[in-house]
Structure 1
């Protein structure tokens, strides 16, 4: 997935080439996320809910913590909001309150 980004619409002061290197990338699955933050950083906790029976205590195995700057978190919010808008336009609105 070495993918270059076309930024030819930017002026030369803003133009830089981004190459996405995948060699060190790891992929994990999570069906639970929790987020907390401070002035300096935002922490995203990812885990797996292994509780299947209704009414039983929920046990989440935390598998990853990602720490980002507030600036990176804001950019992620903007991008993720756009991706979810496209998803819902194709597949219908997600009702997170029912989860």
Structure 2
């Protein structure tokens, strides 16, 4: 992946830098499903934990079993860029499909 902060290789035409071309190499990409996410942070990093809620009868046991399958470690700067990017994506999604309601007790919300 090309770091968007590097501009040494960008040609300048008529005093204006051209937009760098990013080559997204997906040859080793893997897909995972997650319906649960959690986050922690320290001064140096932000940790995102992704997993799947495997609880079938939560009303009977009052316990949830979440199988964590991915941890993503980000610098605070990358985390902030992700926060901005996700906000923009969700704004577009809600514009097309309507608001996402995460109120407790509603579909998609916590119970």
Q: What's the TM-score, normalizing by structure 2?
A: 0.73
CA contact 2:46–2:73 (8 Å) conserved in 1: yes
Q: Mind listing any 5+ residue stretches in structure 1 that lack a counterpart?
A: 1-10
Does residue 89 (structure 1) correspond to residue 86 (structure 2)? The answer is: no
Separation in 1, partners of 2:54, 2:99:
26
Deviation of the 1:53 alpha carbon:
2.0
Q: Provide Cα deviations, 1:24-75, integer angstroms capped at 9, x if missing partner.
A: 1110000000000011100000000011224231100000000011111111
Kindly indicate whether residue 57 of structure 2 is the aligned counterpart of residue 53 of structure 1.
yes
Cα 1:51–1:69 shift into 2, 3 Å = same
**How many correspondences in the alignment?**
89
Gaps of 5+ in 2: 1-15
Q: Which has the higher contact order (CA 8 A, sep 6+)?
A: 1
Q: TM-score, length-normalised on structure 1?
A: 0.81
Stretches of 4+ moved more than 3 A in 1?
none
RMSD, matched Cα: 1.8
